[in-house]
């Protein structure tokens, strides 16, 4: 039992430290200017950079860390207030001294137990963090698809992707993370169910807590370790990202053109219909949107198309985000339980 407690304590420490977020920041910096297509609703939208995707992950992980720190801090309470919290059999001073010795604060009002909203908050914080990891893993799964192929999981020499099809290289670790996130989320539901107890105490909560609290920390420790492995060894394919970007026939320039036409004095509705007409034709006939637009003398005479079709426009403020990322990385400190 003691060795199990030490293992759990180590897992909690590792979950709090999130040392692997340094790897996320490093790979984000590596790909801060690596162009790729952004997607909304699964459809090509406008260009972004792969580094910006990873920068978003780093900030989300930091929010997860802060939620967890805050929830654990609210768990640092204790009680020695008697059978129903009235101090009938002891003195409040004894509770104060005992809690001080243990590094805890006395629960302001307790019953026979500590109120379980604290435990529910902790499990919810773990579930949100697991959901974030699932979001990252799901993104990698999509980008690994054959039709996309912008990234690939690390693949060792002699590793098999499929027992039946030798060509397969499946995103199995990312899939595993998505599955484990469901376990941690389900555990959070147990925490919420444990809040409502009968009167000053029943014991319906305790048996479940002995399972879901340690399991959630242990699973999340594993998930963070595997995500670190994924990020550090991830095969990123900038050439494929550019091919996919260009496969959209330049349609991502549609908003830039729309705004330029509006600035030239055209009503927004007329500008939208003009741009949409060329966009739908480029999409339906698989023609280059830029060439169709340049052939339209009405448009070419109103706006500077070289400026409109400038890819650099989409990344001109990337450095602003990475200045924020550098500040985030600079304030990371190890945390010990």
Distance CA 154, CA 145 (A): 15
**Roughly what angle, to the nearest 10 degrees, separates helices 172-193 and 117-144?**
160
Query: For the chain, first and last CA: distance in Å?
Result: 19
Contact yes or no for 94/47 (Cβ under 8 A)? no
Query: Rounded to the nearest 10 degrees, what angle do helices 50-74 and 2-17 cross at?
Result: 130
Render 66-83 in DSSP notation, one character per residue: HHHHHHHHHT-EE----S
> Minimal CA–CA distance to 25: which of 67, 59, 1?
59
Which two tokens mark 195? Answer: 């809040």
Q: How many helices (H) and strands (E) does the chain have?
A: 14, 6
DSSP 215-277: HHHHHHHHHHHHHHHHHHH-EE-HHHHHHHHHTTTTGGGHHHHHHHHHHTT--HHHHHHHHHH
> Would you please indicate which residues are annotated as catalytic (active-site) residues?
41, 162
- Give the three-state DSSP class for 169: coil
Residue 122's nearest CA partner among 86, 85, 77 is: 77
Radius of gyration of the CA atoms of the chain, in A: 27
Torsion angle in degrees (nearest 10) through CA of 124, 126, 130, 131: 20
């Amino acid at each position: 039992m003691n060795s199990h407690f030490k293992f759990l304590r180590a897992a909690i420490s590792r979950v709090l430290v999130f040392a692997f977020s340094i790897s996320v920041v490093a790979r984000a910096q590596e790909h801060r200017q690596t162009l790729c297509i952004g997607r909304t609703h699964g459809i090509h939208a406008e260009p972004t950079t792969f580094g910006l995707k990873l920068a978003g992950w780093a900030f989300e992980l930091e929010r997860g860390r802060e939620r967890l720190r805050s929830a654990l801090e609210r768990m640092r309470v204790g009680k020695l207030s008697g059978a129903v919290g009235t101090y009938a059999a002891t003195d409040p001073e004894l509770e104060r001294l005992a809690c001080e010795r243990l590094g805890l604060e006395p629960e302001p009002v307790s019953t026979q137990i500590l109120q379980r909203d604290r435990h529910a908050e902790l499990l919810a914080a773990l579930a949100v963090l697991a959901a974030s990891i699932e979001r990252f893993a799901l993104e990698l799964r999509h980008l690994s698809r054959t039709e996309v192929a912008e990234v690939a999981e690390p693949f060792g020499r002699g590793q098999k992707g499929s027992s039946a099809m030798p060509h397969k290289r499946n995103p199995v670790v990312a899939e595993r993370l998505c599955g484990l996130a469901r376990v941690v989320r389900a555990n959070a539901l147990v925490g919420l169910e444990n809040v409502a107890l009968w009167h000053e105490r029943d014991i319906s909560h305790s048996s479940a807590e002995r399972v879901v609290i340690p399991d959630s920390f242990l699973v999340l420790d594993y998930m963070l370790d595997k995500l670190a492995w994924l990020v550090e060894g991830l095969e990123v394919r900038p050439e494929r990202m550019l091919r996919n970007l260009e496969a959209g026939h330049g349609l991502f320039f549609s908003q830039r053109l729309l705004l330029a036409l509006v600035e030239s004095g055209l009503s927004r509705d007329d500008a939208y219909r003009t741009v949409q007409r060329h966009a739908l034709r480029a999409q339906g006939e698989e023609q280059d949107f830029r060439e169709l637009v340049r052939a339209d003398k009405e448009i070419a005479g109103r706006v500077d198309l070289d400026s409109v079709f400038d890819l650099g426009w989409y990344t001109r403020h990337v450095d602003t985000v990475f200045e924020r990322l550098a500040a985030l990385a600079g304030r990371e400190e190890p945390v010990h339980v």
